[in-house]
């Protein structure tokens, strides 16, 4: 049994309303620390969806996510900051005069940040997207590292390796979650329309897709730039979330983290990206107590830096060894799937796969 489109829409809207109700409770009663952790979870969801569109949907192995994040972060910051804070930040090398007086509202600069990242994706995508899987990964990795080196060496625009501090406080948990919901919605619509199917066809077999009349390069560049757009938005939200930019935030490790969410959740699987990005981020923050001093009653253990990351990596290794295709595999969350699941439970139906509405 499936619900009609209209009913599904109503249930979806109700679920989103429920989510924001929950956020309001967190925001008002659970303290700013929890608010920050939950916000970071949503930012990582946006980043993971971006990479999932590039790698999961289209099969383009990209290790350049950190590069697009950096572009988005710097563009949004430089467009949003007031001239006074800019001057205060750029005390070693003065900022370029044409950049000093630009100040746009946050939503506008966030959008521009996404589009600039997407533009870069088109520019580098046109030449390199013809490369095959591993070579594409290496080339995009190279691109991200070049971006980082350039950022470190352009003090009059990026303030070099010192980064930028005191970013304006323009985001909050509601804005971040609203963007995350929009991102998930967009990815869901994309995966179910003709563009998304073309992308998946390219992933499964490029030659067969081309023979079926799909313009490979056009679709690849399109998917690559959509993914980069979300990476740019996510990167911008990330630096506003942390109130500072440090070029070290955009090393290969950042890409690896997003990649682990996507692969551990299941390639091309939106549910997987969302759940794993959320869970991993939450656990990483929650495990912080391990690195603090602990009183075990008879002895006091001093915090050991690195313990948290170690546990995370061991967890990741276990997940990968246990679930070769990611935790969620091909299973996608859907309202109809859940309803059918319970229906089947009631009927005690022996039919297999009733709940799998991928």
Partner 1 sequence: MTLEIFLQNLSNGIAYGSLYALIAIGYTMVYGILRLINFAHSNIFLTGAYLAFVLYAAFKGNWILAYGLSIALTACLGVLTDKIAYKPIRNAPRISALISAIAVSFIIENLLLIIFGGRPLAFPKISLLNKIYNVGGISIPSINIAIILVSGIILIVLMLILYKTKTGLAMRALSSDFDTARLMAMDVDKIVSITFAIGSAIAAVGGIMYASKFPQIHPYLAAMPGIKAFIAAVVGGIGNVQGAFIGGLTLGLIEILFVALFPSLSGYRDAIAFIVLIIILLYKPTGIMGKSGRVKV
Q: Which is nearer to partner 1, 166 or 313 (CB)?
A: 313
SS3 330: coil
Give the interface segment with partner 1, choosing from 74-82, 110-118, 220-228, 309-317 (CB under 8 A): 309-317
Burial zone of 176 (CB within 10 Å; 0-12 exposed, 13-18 middle, 19+ buried): buried
x/- map, 222-261, partner 1, by CB under 8 A = -----------------------------xx---x--xx-
Rank residues 11 and 138 by Cβ distance to partner 1 and give the closer one. 138
Question: Helix, strand or coil for residue 293?
Answer: coil
- The site string for partner 1 over 52-91 (x = CB under 8 A, - otherwise) reads ---------x------------------------------
Do the beta carbons of residue 202 and residue 219 sit within 8 Å?
A: yes
Q: Which is nearer to partner 1, 77 or 260 (CB)?
A: 260
Q: How far is the CB of 252 from partner 1 (least distance, A)?
A: 7
Rounded Cα distance, 78 and 73, in Å: 9
Distances (CA, A) of 164 to 101, 161, 246: 16, 9, 7
Residues 179, 171: Cα–Cα separation, whole Å? 11
Cα–Cα distance for residue pair 170/176, rounded to 1 Å: 11
Name the residue nearer to partner 1 (CB basis): 185 or 256: 256
Which of 231, 242, 237 has the alpha carbon at shortest distance from 109? 237
Contact 98, 263 (CB under 8 A): no
Q: How far is the CB of 313 from partner 1 (least distance, A)?
A: 4
Smaller CB separation from partner 1, 99 or 311: 311
Which segment (19-27, 96-104, 317-325, 328-336) binds partner 1 by CB under 8 A? 317-325
Extract long-range pairs of 306-312: CB within 8 Å, 24+ residues apart.
308/284, 311/287, 312/280, 312/283, 312/284, 312/287
Q: At 300, which helix (H) or strand (E)? A: strand 300-301
- Choices 17-25, 37-45, 78-86, 140-148 (CB under 8 A): range interacting with partner 1: 140-148
DSSP character at residue 301:
E
**Token reading at 325:** 């295709």
Size of the site for partner 1 (CB under 8 A): 43
DSSP string, 173-196: HHHHHHHHHHHHHHHHHHHTSHHH
The reply to whether 182 sits near partner 1 by the rule CB under 8 A is: no
Residue 3 or 210: the one with the smaller Cβ distance to partner 1 is: 210
Rg (CA), the chain: 22
Q: How far is the CB of 241 from partner 1 (least distance, A)?
A: 23
Stretch of 5-13, 45-53, 131-139, 162-170 lying at the interface with partner 1 (CB under 8 A): 131-139
8 A C-beta contact, residue 127 and residue 106: no
The answer to the question of residue 275 lying near partner 1 (CB under 8 A) is no
Q: CB under 8 A: which stretch of 89-97, 102-110, 134-142, 281-289 binds partner 1?
A: 134-142
Q: Are 44 and 273 in contact (CB under 8 A)?
A: no
Task: Report in angstroms how near the CB of residue 357 gets to partner 1 at its nearest.
Answer: 24
CB 316 within 8 A of CB 84: no
Candidate ranges 100-108, 239-247, 314-322, 337-345; the one touching partner 1 (CB under 8 A):
314-322
- Per rule CB under 8 A, is residue 283 in the interface with partner 1? no
CA nearest neighbour of 253 among 322, 184, 312: 312
Q: Is 142 one of the binding residues for partner 1 (CB under 8 A)?
A: yes
CB of 72 to partner 1, least distance (A): 20
Residues that bind partner 1 (CB under 8 A): 61, 127-128, 131-132, 134-135, 137-139, 141-143, 145-146, 149-150, 152-153, 207, 251-252, 256, 259-260, 263-264, 267, 304-307, 309-310, 312-314, 316-317, 320-321, 324-325
């Amino acid at each position: 049994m499936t619900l009609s489109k209209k009913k599904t829409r109503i249930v979806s809207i109700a679920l989103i309303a429920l989510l924001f109700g929950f956020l309001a409770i967190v925001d008002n009663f659970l303290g700013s620390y929890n608010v920050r952790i939950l916000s970071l979870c949503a930012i990582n969801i946006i980043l993971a969806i971006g990479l999932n569109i590039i790698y999961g949907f289209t099969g383009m192995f990209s290790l350049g996510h950190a590069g697009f994040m950096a572009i988005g972060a710097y563009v949004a910051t430089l467009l949003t900051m007031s001239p006074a804070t800019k001057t205060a930040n750029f005390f070693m090398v003065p900022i370029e005069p044409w950049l000093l007086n630009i100040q746009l509202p946050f939503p506008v600069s966030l959008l521009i940040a996404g589009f600039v990242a997407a533009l870069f994706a088109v520019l580098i995508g046109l030449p390199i997207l013809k490369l095959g899987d591993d070579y594409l990964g290496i080339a995009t990795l190279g691109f991200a590292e070049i971006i980082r080196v350039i950022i470190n060496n352009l003090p009059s625009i990026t303030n070099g390796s010192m980064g930028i501090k005191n970013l304006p406080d323009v985001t909050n948990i509601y804005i971040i979650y609203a963007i995350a919901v929009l991102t998930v919605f967009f990815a869901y619509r994309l995966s179910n329309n003709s563009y998304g199917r073309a992308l998946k066809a390219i992933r499964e077999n490029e030659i067969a897709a081309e023979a079926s009349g799909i313009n490979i390069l056009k679709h690849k560049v399109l998917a690559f730039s959509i993914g980069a757009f979300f990476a740019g938005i996510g990167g911008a939200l990330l630096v506003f979330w942390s109130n500072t930019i440090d070029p070290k935030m955009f090393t290969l490790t950042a890409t690896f983290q997003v990649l682990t969410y996507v692969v551990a959740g299941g390639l091309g699987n939106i549910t997987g990206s969302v759940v794993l990005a959320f869970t991993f981020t939450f656990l990483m923050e929650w495990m912080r107590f391990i690195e603090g001093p602990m009183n075990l009653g008879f002895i006091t253990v001093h915090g050991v830096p690195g313990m948290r990351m170690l546990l995370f990596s061991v967890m990741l290794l276990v997940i990968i060894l246990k679930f070769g295709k990611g935790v969620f595999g091909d299973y996608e969350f859907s309202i109809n799937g859940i309803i059918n699941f319970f229906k089947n439970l009631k009927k005690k139906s022996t039919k297999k796969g009733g709940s799998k509405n991928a």
